[in-house]
Structure 1
Amino acid sequence: MTGLDDTDLSTWIRTENKAIWEAMQTHRFVTDIEKEQLPREVLCRYFFFEHAFVETAVQIFAYALLKAPGFAQRRRLIATLSALSEAQLVWFQDCFASLGIGQTGEALPPAVTAFAEGMLAIARDGDYADIVAIMLAAEWMYGTWCVRAHRRPSAEPMLRSWVQLHAEPEFLDGADWLRAEVNREAARLNDAQRARLATLFGRALQLEIDFHEAAYDSTWPVPKAEGNA
């Protein structure tokens, strides 16, 4: 990630959540990828869950758009919404075709549903600063471990592509933009409000941990594409 001042609010927020940050960075999903030992069923389950979350992510950024403080932020968020609703969905279509994943499956595990509902509730009920804080937790988290994992690309094409997407300058720039937005918002916040952002950042990371753990739930069957049953 490109560096911002070490005394900025975003760095303080991450420091306040050091334990849970490290728990996500060393989660077995991440370490399995880094060691090139992620089970195929876990990967397929994870991609199915991620695809299901895209619509929720669109709604979260739509709330940010509605609550944004200025036109510069709105322009940036419109571009983000376009990428989510177009390019990312196309990527998942290619991913599902490559891995033989079906489009529909059983009811999602509770942790996956809780992740979507929890993040959406924060966006719906909170203000702009709340939204950029939770999305920073997600994007900073992904950018950090994917940059690390990308140094040893996976032999699995879709996993390699997924990691690369989150290690490319465009994605990292998006995470840095969220950092800058959190830091800009800091000027109008009191200590209690800053502490609230740190709590929300940690809450988002815990939801991410539970979400990634759900990919290892062997009782949830990965849906198969027609012809791959």
Structure 2
Amino acid sequence: MTSRTNWQTWAAGREAPRITDWLREISEPDWSATVQHPLFDDLASGRLEGARFAAYMVQDYGFVDPFTALIGHAIGHAPNMEDRVVLGQFMGMLTSDENSTFQRTFEAFGVSARTEYLPATRDFRKLLRDTGTGRAPSGEGRYAEMLAVLVVTEWLYLDWATRISRAEGLHPLMDEWIDLHDNPDFRAFVDWLRRRLDEEAAGLDDADFSRMAERFRETVAKELAFHDAVHPRR
């Protein structure tokens, strides 16, 4: 399912096929189940009470440290200055605007970021750490794996944030959380990530290509497991 031959078979006959579109397709049904997750519908409709929103944010905050470390590794392995600039700018947003949203949420709802992480949170944290410190067969393969994880985490959030319809009167911090993942700058960043993964993946050898695709699918599965853990589907 994740081989270059599988990709080439899928791409044959399609107009302007993209590797990232294929990766999303082979990650079904987990991709759509995450984008359509009831957590986001409850958040957007106002049915998600403050305590549950805060509990979700505490668990999500558990990814910030290993995620920023992963971006640091990606910056170090990037093949050019343009990539380093774009990734560095995103790192700046994470450590300023997004971190501020987390901290003000914890203060507003009287919760602590110091918590016992759920097993699904711990598993995802391990994936982020392993991707940053792993040893792919080549340097190009390692960078592509990092991009694959970044594409999943950011593209999924863009997809759910642009899918939902917000009710009026949401708590300002809930509105702010949605805004962080539904704005022109974030959409442009996701577009850039997809383009760069398309480009990097095209030049990988067969072994690195399969590892990259497997990492993409694994990350999607971890995303779904995490959201099911913090807000079980009925």
Tell me which interval the TM-score lies in, with the shorter structure as reference length.
0.7 to 0.9
* Residues in 2 aligned to 1:116 and 1:6: alpha-carbon distance in whole angstroms: 35
Query: What percent identity do the matched residue pairs reach?
Result: 26
The amino acid across from 1:111 in the alignment is A
Aligned-pair CA distance for 1:92: 1.6
1:123-170 Cα distance to aligned partner (Å, 9 max, x none): 221400000111101110000110122554661221111011100111
Aligned-pair CA distance for 1:51: 1.9
Does 2:69 align with 1:59?
yes
* Residues in 1 aligned to 2:98 and 2:179: alpha-carbon distance in whole angstroms: 13
The amino acid across from 2:191 in the alignment is D
Aligned-pair CA distance for 1:117: 0.9
Q: Is the 8 A contact 2:98 2:180 kept in 1?
A: no
Aligned-pair CA distance for 1:102: 2.3
Query: Which residue does the alignment assign to 1:77?
Result: 87
* Residues in 1 aligned to 2:41 and 2:172: alpha-carbon distance in whole angstroms: 18
Query: Which residue does the alignment assign to 2:128?
Result: 119
Number of residues of Structure 1 aligned to a counterpart in Structure 2: 212
Query: Which residue does the alignment assign to 1:187?
Result: 202
Does 2:169 align with 1:160?
no
Structure 2 gaps, min length 5: 1-14, 137-141
Q: Is the 8 A contact 2:144 2:212 kept in 1?
A: yes
Q: Which moved more, 1:75-84 or 1:56-65?
A: 75-84
Q: Is the 8 A contact 2:101 2:173 kept in 1?
A: no
* Residues in 2 aligned to 1:6 and 1:34: alpha-carbon distance in whole angstroms: 34
Q: Is the 8 A contact 2:70 2:132 kept in 1?
A: yes
Query: Which residue does the alignment assign to 1:136?
Result: 151
1:25-69 Cα distance to aligned partner (Å, 9 max, x none): 222212323443224332111111122221111101011011111
Q: Is the 8 A contact 1:149 1:163 kept in 2?
A: no
Q: Is the 8 A contact 1:150 1:163 kept in 2?
A: no
Q: Is the 8 A contact 1:68 1:128 kept in 2?
A: yes
* Residues in 1 aligned to 2:195 and 2:168: alpha-carbon distance in whole angstroms: 30
Aligned-pair CA distance for 1:18: 2.4
Of the three residues 22, 26, 40, the one matched with 1:30 is 40
Query: Which residue does the alignment assign to 1:108?
Result: 117
1:187-211 Cα distance to aligned partner (Å, 9 max, x none): 3124553333222111111111122
* Residues in 2 aligned to 1:76 and 1:100: alpha-carbon distance in whole angstroms: 35
Q: Structure 2 vs 1, CA of residues 128 and 191 (structure 1 numbering), >3 Å: closer, same or farther?
A: same
* Residues in 2 aligned to 1:147 and 1:178: alpha-carbon distance in whole angstroms: 17
Q: Structure 2 vs 1, CA of residues 70 and 161 (structure 1 numbering), >3 Å: closer, same or farther?
A: same
* Residues in 2 aligned to 1:15 and 1:93: alpha-carbon distance in whole angstroms: 36
* Residues in 1 aligned to 2:123 and 2:23: alpha-carbon distance in whole angstroms: 23
SS of alignment partner, residue 155 of structure 1 = coil
TM-score (norm 1): 0.84
* Residues in 1 aligned to 2:31 and 2:79: alpha-carbon distance in whole angstroms: 28
1:89-126 Cα distance to aligned partner (Å, 9 max, x none): 22222222222222423x21211111111122022214
TM-score (norm 2): 0.82
SS of alignment partner, residue 104 of structure 1 = coil
Structure 1 gaps, min length 5: 218-229
Query: Which residue does the alignment assign to 1:220?
Result: none
* Residues in 1 aligned to 2:44 and 2:95: alpha-carbon distance in whole angstroms: 29
